[in-house]
Amino acid sequence: MKDACRISAQALRVAGEAVKPGVSTLEIDTIVRSFIEKQGALPSFLGYGGYPAGTCISVNNVVIHGIPSKEQILKEGDIVSVDVGAYYKGYHGDNAFTFPCGKISAEAQALLNATQESLYEGINQAVAFNRVGDIGSAVQRYVEARSYSVVRDYVGHGVGANLHEDPSVPNFGTPGRGVRLLPGMTIAIEPMVNEGTHHVRVMSDKWTVKTLDGKLSAHFEHTIAITPDGPRIMTLCD
Ligand code: MF3
Ligand code: CO
C-alpha cells in the first residue's frame, strides 16, 4: 500500500507541475495517466462506476469529479483541484491537492491555505482509539472558524484493496462519535471546503459537482494509516 500511495503522490506532483495557463485539463490527465502506467500501476478512477478518466480535475467553482476535457483551457488565476489514485499490487492510494494556476487572488489563496490546514487538523485526530467524529469535528471547527463551509454530500473513506471502503470519514461531526479508529486501518481524509454555501449540485454529465452559489471550492486529500505511533501520511513522494 505504501508503494501505491507513493505512486499516487508522485502522480499528483506531476499534475501540479503541468498546471499552467493555456494547458487543457485533458492534457494534464494524459500526462498523469502515462506517468502512472509507466510505474506499472493503474489509475484507480478510470472506469470506477463508469468514470471516464484517470484523474478528476475540478476548476474554481467545481468541487470534485470534474472530467478532464480538451475544451477546458486553464487560465491565470484559476484554482485547480486534481484528485488522483493509483492501484499497484492489489492496493489503492488516493490523494488530492488544489493548485494555483499562475498568480491567484489573495481570497483564493486564503481558501487553499485553510483547506489544506483543515486536512492536517483532521490528520492530527487520526489516532488509534479515537473515532471518525473526532476527525470530522476538527476539520469542521477549523473551517467554520474562518467563515468557510464544509461540503456535506461527499466524504472521506476507508481505502485499501478497494478505492472506497468502510468507514465513511465525514468532514463534519461530533467528537467521540462514530466508528472507532484502530491500528492498521487506512483511510482517506479529504476536506472539500467552499467559500460560500456548503450546498452543491451535480451537473447533467452525472459527475461534475459544483457549488450551488458559484463560489470557489478547494479540495485536499491524503491517504493515512492509523498506527500505534499515531497517524502516518502514506501519500508522500519519498
Ligand atoms: N478520490 C475520489 C474519492 O476519494 C475518487 C473519485 S471518484 C471516481 O472519492 F469515480 F472518479 F473515481
Ligand atoms: Co478519496
Given pLDDT bands bounded at 50, 70 and 90, which one contains residue 92? very high
Asked whether 97 lines ligand 1 (CB < 6 A), one says no
* Cβ atoms within 10 Å, residue 107: 10
For 6-49, what is each residue's pLDDT tens digit?
999 999 999 999 999 999 999 999 999 999 999 999 999 999 99
Asked whether 154 lines ligand 1 (CB < 6 A), one says no
- Which ligand places an atom closest to the C-alpha of 58? 1
Which numbered atom of ligand 1 lies nearest the CA of 45?
A: 12
Asked whether 94 lines ligand 1 (CB < 6 A), one says yes
Q: Which of 88, 219, 214, 229 is nearest to 151 (CA)?
A: 219
Task: Tell whether the model's pLDDT for residue 91 goes beyond 90.
Answer: yes
Which numbered atom of ligand 1 lies nearest the CA of 53?
A: 11
With helix as H, strand as E and coil as C, how does 179-196 read? Answer: CECCCCCEEEECCEEECC
In the chain, the percentage of residues whose pLDDT exceeds 90 is 100
* Cβ atoms within 10 Å, residue 116: 16
Instruction: Count Cβ atoms within 10 A of the Cβ of residue 23 and give its class: 0-12 exposed, 13-18 middle, 19 or more buried.
Output: middle
- From the CA of 238, how far away is ligand 1's center (Å)? 23
- From the CA of 144, how far away is ligand 2's center (Å)? 22
- For position 229, what pLDDT does the model report? 97
Which numbered atom of ligand 1 lies nearest the CA of 44?
A: 12
Q: What is the pTM of this model?
A: 0.98
Degrees to nearest 5, angle at CA 164 with 161 and 167? 105
With a CB cutoff of 8 Å and minimum separation 6, the contacts of 200 are: 63, 151, 153, 154, 194, 209, 210, 211, 212
Task: Tell whether the model's pLDDT for residue 186 goes beyond 90.
Answer: yes
Q: What is the mean pLDDT of the chain?
A: 98
Given pLDDT bands bounded at 50, 70 and 90, which one contains residue 238? confident
- Which ligand places an atom closest to the C-alpha of 64? 1
